[in-house]
Structure 1
Amino acid sequence: MYSKRLLLSTISLLLLLSVSAGAQKDPIGPATKLPDHPRILLLKGEEGRIRQTIAADKTWNNVHQAMLGECDKLLAVAPVERIQIGRRLLDKSREALRRVFLLAYAWRLTGQQQYLQRVEKELLAVSAFSDWNPSHFLDVAEMTMAVGIGYDWLYNDLSPASRSAIKAAILKKGIEPSLDPKFNSWLTATHNWNQVCNAGMTYGAMAIYEDQPELSRKIINRAIDSIELPMEDYAPDGAYPEGYSYWGYGTSFNVMFISAIEKAFGSDFGLSKKPGFLKTAAYMTNMTGPTGNSFNYSDAGTGSGLHPAMFWFASKLNDPSVLWVERGRLLSENGSKYDKDRLLPAIMLWNNGIRVNDIPEPKARIWVGDGKSPVALMRTSWTDPSAIFVGLKAGSPSVNHAHMDVGSFVMEADGVRWAMDFGMQDYNSLESKGVKLWGKEQDSQRWQVYRYNNYVHNTLTVNNGLQNVEGNARITRSTNNPQFLSATTDLTELYKGPLHKASRGIAIVDQNHIVVRDEVETPGKEATVRWTLLTPADVTITGKNRAELTKDGKKLILQVQEPANVTLKTWSTDPPHEYDAPNPGTTLVGFEVTMPANTKGTLTVLLLPEKAAGQTTQAVRPLAQWPK
């Protein structure tokens, strides 16, 4: 009996110590004060600062007026309906967030009743949904953020009945499902799901804090702890593992989260100081070429856009030069182009009153970032629309959303993207046809999708095989000499077996042409190496080792320097499977070489814009002799 009592006492003590330790760890405690509504992102009375910015800068006034114009269009539009596509309700959640954020912004900045009435109508409609589709929790997260913003920003003007219905939906359809282990595996994820879902749940918890203080603290503390996992992937330099589009998703919601808790609690609890996180602004700035198109590797779309989160980063860094690309978009495009961005109102909260015309260009012409998906981004100018731009990707196909695109690159000159990437294919177009898209094993069906394997990327294919899923490539060196901007990567692990060694280097030489050099070594058997470049240009083979690419009245020469006896050819980009997306207006150009066993070989290709095509080029040195 005594030993049993001792055991129970010991267990009770351990539980007490555990709870005590947890309480010490949780930054939001019972004594923590929270502002009255509105408390999320924009406190009461802070609208005046936005009005001053609008009055002082024509560009910001244009953005503001574009948002009000979109709100006026929404007045006559029926609320979002619960129509699920495949396993996702996500498009409806995103549209609800867009509408609520815009309309609530319009109400707070103008005080016009029609905006209040319309956003209340939207909130009641989505609150009446049977659920917010917790089996695909991103849908719940974005809807909870939408309803949390609307409830908080309209709190003092909603009818008691509306307030009750909306509050119940946040709790029952948003927060409570996040406590169910069936739906919350994202808590331990290291990718965008974690960032988006924790942000959404925190917005819901902050909105109903006074009614559910203990639960709300639990949700917010859980998020502060959990969101550190994906934030670790920005180290050391800020290169976002999932690429451009998912930076726009995961990072933007991460900033929405940090901005909200910092505004409400006066602290971000050290999150913005996580290694590499603030550096990611430079990554994003450099990811866009002179054409305005992004380096769309991995599951990225082919487009690009305005990123409100960049203004938050600029303010934190006190470095407006990271806004150079955003400046260009704001000055060259009508504000209404961006009113489909569901986070657009945040740009008015984060711009810190900066005058758009005063944003300076960045100083560096090359940016290199290590991490899960290392990249090197080079250009000859930030202001010349005809500048040369090259982006090189390393990393591994095993990274979340990655393709077999290691060693691939994009290239622009004279306002044309000559070397391109298809980017992603719409997920539902594949899933609806039974494609098992998310397997990452070597023999997964994912790698049979035409756009996802190495066959159609600007990299090497050996013995007509796939890159090694578990292989990983680093950027091994780089050069910031204006006459020789360069980066090299070791691709050996990607071709382990068929090749003994493989390295690639890409350089912008003399600010007027590109060199792509591959150095490969075969093992004890011969290997056939294929070099390919995917282009939207018309391709004319003008010699065994020379091709002329033409597009939009511009010209680029592709010339193989080594080996001397290659024969250039083109391949169709018609995909092999019924489930693959069509690829009109594109061509693969390149060559194949068969290398004997136990030999070393070099593949050297020059990409010569028209103004450099007639100039004499120097012999390309071995990669080991490229300067550091």
Structure 2
Amino acid sequence: MKVNRFLLLLFCLMVQVAMAQTDYVGSVTKLADHPRILLLKGQEVAIKQTIDGDKTWSQLHQTILAECNTMMELPQLERIKIGRRLLDKSREALRRVFFLCYAWRMTHQGAYLKRAEKELLAIAAFSDWNPTHFLDVAEMTMAAAIGYDWLYDDLSPESRSAIREAIVTKGIQPSLDSQYNGWLKASHNWNQVCNASMAYGAMAIFEDHPALARQIINRSVNTITLPMNDYGPDGSYPEGYGYWGYGTSFNVLLVSALDKLFKTDFGLSQQPGFLKTAGFMENMTGPTGASFNFSDAGVKGELQPAMFWFANKLNDPSLLWQERPYLTDPTLARQQVRNRLLPATLLWSNGLKISRLTPPKNTLWVGEGKTPVAFLRSSWTDPAAIYVAIKGGTPSTNHAHMDVGSFVMDADGVRWAMDFGMQQYESLESKGVDLWNMKQHSQRWQVFRYGNSVHNTLTVNDSLQRVSGKALITSSSATPLFMNATTDLTTLYSDGLAKANRGIAIVDKAYVVVRDELQTPSTEATVRWTMLTPATVKLVGTTKAELTQGGKTLLLQVQEPAAITLKTWSTTPPHDYDAPNPGTVRVGFEVTMPANTKTAFTVLLIPQKAGGQVIQTVPPLPLWPR
């Protein structure tokens, strides 16, 4: 009787779980023949027409083929982890398989088929795909799924069996184990990458395991909406540039594959803010080609294949203005062969003529959400244009730093105000750093690059920003002569300040203003204003500093308070686990504010070509155009 009651209870629980999941796939028992994932049978013809009709696409195609020829001489991948991760092997497996399978389908040269099959059998023979760090399993599964599906008719029965078995036992089945699938409840890139990859595995093996495949596809569509909620309302991606390139790209891979296979993406692309996120990514890169690398990101920009899907979906080729150099500049184009998703760029090219791309129209982009941001620029076409970007948000967001209120700035083709960005995780984890604890007093915030003192923001009483705080973009204006955005930083400094507001503006399309309006509580506060720069800094007075870099000059001028003394601080880190930071320095000033007082910091960043003509009095933030 007890056993029967247990079984009944278990059955009821399973029914409840099933009812909570929408059945998108329904009673589908048969899918289109292989290849069925992302690039259907016969769709190579359209890509060949695109290649034949545009020199840039032809060059990219040849670059991919040349890289595939290089792969022929590479040693076989082995299951060797770095720390707790197998991820570098999984990513390389995906890169090799995607490139080689693309080359085979486009040329039918047997060498590409043979090498792709060799890669697939090698990873299929691994003892496992490291489920304790499930991103490793995800990318390996996607590699195996694309290879299995795209080469299906040309693989031997023995190879098909081995690869299919690996997809099921080393990919999909571990995703059903609760000790490995915590990402199903995650609101960040893990959810997107893992769900997309498991769905690819399910699509690949559908005819052999239809019930399992339907379960996985339904689960992916149901649960990927959790991180997709974070794109609302305007498209800002809370984890920044690098993880947009990861999470959003895999999200697009899923949406595109569903749409190709089922003639619908089950409403995923219509999730609030998702289609708007293309605007976010386009604006994340300055005229120098460097990204606004807040949170865990690298400063270097890169080609984003997903942007081509967005451009097609929205019928807006101007979204690709920032992608253009990565295809048209021969040096940059060759560097893209490390991008494991590069073939998807051609899959989503849709006959587009790269030479006919036009620049975006808007020079101001503002997005709210978990990490509010504002991007301002004086021009899209002038390589010497001014670009300044500022972020709000909270340090408690996944992969966040204590960089709330921080900004970056380009002018005259130089990045003047910079962000270190991320430090490689293994370099910290291997030394026992408690890196993923986001609490206020976590060791994470002792990592030099992660604290607010090395970001272009404020430090109050030599203390950290509050993890529980959050800053919104409170106002903005695209007024050409005073383009601006403001943010309220008060909750980030609630231990030391009663009020903290920051505004940033491009004035007359010629220079930048950074203004902070602060108020102390019933105790005094010492506030430090800093800007991190790769330039050489020469202090030319108590309130002026001359920055030089690449033959260009920028004047940093403090208008108020008058009684300050500019200084510099080293970027040599204090711990042996910190990464070195050569060629950088912090410049700024400190002010001790008495209790119950108000003050304003007004700093001008004046490029050489501005000619020294600047506004004499910057108005208070409430009077800025809105």
Q: CA deviation at 1:21?
A: 4.0
Q: Secondary structure at the match of 1:325?
A: coil
Equivalent residue pairs, number: 624
- Give the match for residue 284 of structure 1: 281
Q: Name the stretch that deviates more: 240-249 or 76-85.
A: 76-85
- Give the match for residue 231 of structure 1: 228
- Give the match for residue 567 of structure 1: 565
Q: CA deviation at 1:414?
A: 0.2
Please tell me the residue identity of whatever aligns with 1:182. Answer: Q
- Give the match for residue 147 of structure 2: 150
Q: CA deviation at 1:454?
A: 0.2
Structure 1, residues 169-207: CA drift from partner, whole Å, max 9, x if none?
Answer: 111110110010000000010000000000111111111
- Give the match for residue 386 of structure 1: 384
- Which structure 2 residues correspond to residues 500-579 of structure 1 after superposition, within 5 A? 500-579=498-577
Give the whole-Å Cα distance in 2 for the aligned partners of 1:89 and 1:562: 52
Q: Secondary structure at the match of 1:398?
A: coil
- Which structure 2 residues correspond to residues 327-406 of structure 1 after superposition, within 5 A? 327-334=324-331, 335-406=333-404
Give the whole-Å Cα distance in 2 for the aligned partners of 1:330 and 1:453: 36
Give the whole-Å Cα distance in 2 for the aligned partners of 1:36 and 1:427: 42
- Give the match for residue 256 of structure 2: 259
Contact in 2 for aligned 1:67/1:336 (Cα 8 Å)? no
Q: Secondary structure at the match of 1:82?
A: coil
Q: Secondary structure at the match of 1:307?
A: coil
Instruction: Give the one of 68, 88, 96 matched to 2:65.
Output: 68
- Give the match for residue 483 of structure 2: 485
How has the CA–CA distance of structure 1 residues 97 and 17 changed in structure 2, closer, same or farther, with 3 Å as cutoff?
Answer: closer
Give the whole-Å Cα distance in 1 for the aligned partners of 2:130 and 2:470: 36
Q: TM-score, normalised by structure 1?
A: 0.97
Instruction: Give the one of 425, 431, 434 matched to 1:427.
Output: 425
Identity of aligned residues (%): 65
- Give the match for residue 316 of structure 1: 313
- Give the match for residue 56 of structure 2: 59
- Give the match for residue 38 of structure 2: 41
Please tell me the residue identity of whatever aligns with 1:595. Answer: M
Give the whole-Å Cα distance in 2 for the aligned partners of 1:612 and 1:330: 33
Instruction: Give the one of 199, 203, 206 matched to 1:209.
Output: 206
- Which structure 2 residues correspond to residues 93-132 of structure 1 after superposition, within 5 A? 93-132=90-129
Give the whole-Å Cα distance in 1 for the aligned partners of 2:236 and 2:243: 12
Contact in 2 for aligned 1:97/1:145 (Cα 8 Å)? yes
Q: CA deviation at 1:8?
A: 11
Q: CA deviation at 1:10?
A: 10
Q: CA deviation at 1:359?
A: 1.3
Give the whole-Å Cα distance in 2 for the aligned partners of 1:279 and 1:12: 42
Instruction: Give the one of 580, 597, 600 matched to 1:599.
Output: 597
Structure 1, residues 466-513: CA drift from partner, whole Å, max 9, x if none?
Answer: 000110000000010111110000000000020000000000000001
Give the whole-Å Cα distance in 1 for the aligned partners of 2:120 and 2:239: 32
Give the whole-Å Cα distance in 1 for the aligned partners of 2:147 and 2:400: 35
Please tell me the residue identity of whatever aligns with 2:96. Answer: R
Q: CA deviation at 1:79?
A: 1.8
Q: CA deviation at 1:14?
A: 6.2
Give the whole-Å Cα distance in 1 for the aligned partners of 2:448 and 2:29: 53
Structure 1, residues 268-292: CA drift from partner, whole Å, max 9, x if none?
Answer: 0000000000000000000000001
Q: Secondary structure at the match of 1:373?
A: coil
Give the whole-Å Cα distance in 2 for the aligned partners of 1:234 and 1:15: 32
Instruction: Give the one of 82, 85, 89 matched to 1:88.
Output: 85
Contact in 2 for aligned 1:33/1:265 (Cα 8 Å)? no
Q: Name the stretch that deviates more: 76-85 or 523-532.
A: 76-85
Q: CA RMSD in A?
A: 1.8
Give the whole-Å Cα distance in 1 for the aligned partners of 2:105 and 2:81: 32
Q: Name the stretch that deviates more: 579-588 or 613-622.
A: 613-622
Please tell me the residue identity of whatever aligns with 1:37. Answer: H
Q: CA deviation at 1:77?
A: 1.5
Q: CA deviation at 1:140?
A: 0.2
Give the whole-Å Cα distance in 2 for the aligned partners of 1:12 and 1:302: 51
Which consecutive residues of structure 1, in runs of 5 or more, have no partner in the other structure? none
Give the whole-Å Cα distance in 1 for the aligned partners of 2:279 and 2:70: 36
Q: CA deviation at 1:565?
A: 0.7
Give the whole-Å Cα distance in 1 for the aligned partners of 2:111 and 2:421: 41
Q: Secondary structure at the match of 2:403?
A: coil
Please tell me the residue identity of whatever aligns with 1:605. Answer: V
How has the CA–CA distance of structure 1 residues 476 and 16 changed in structure 2, closer, same or farther, with 3 Å as cutoff?
Answer: closer
Q: CA deviation at 1:526?
A: 0.5
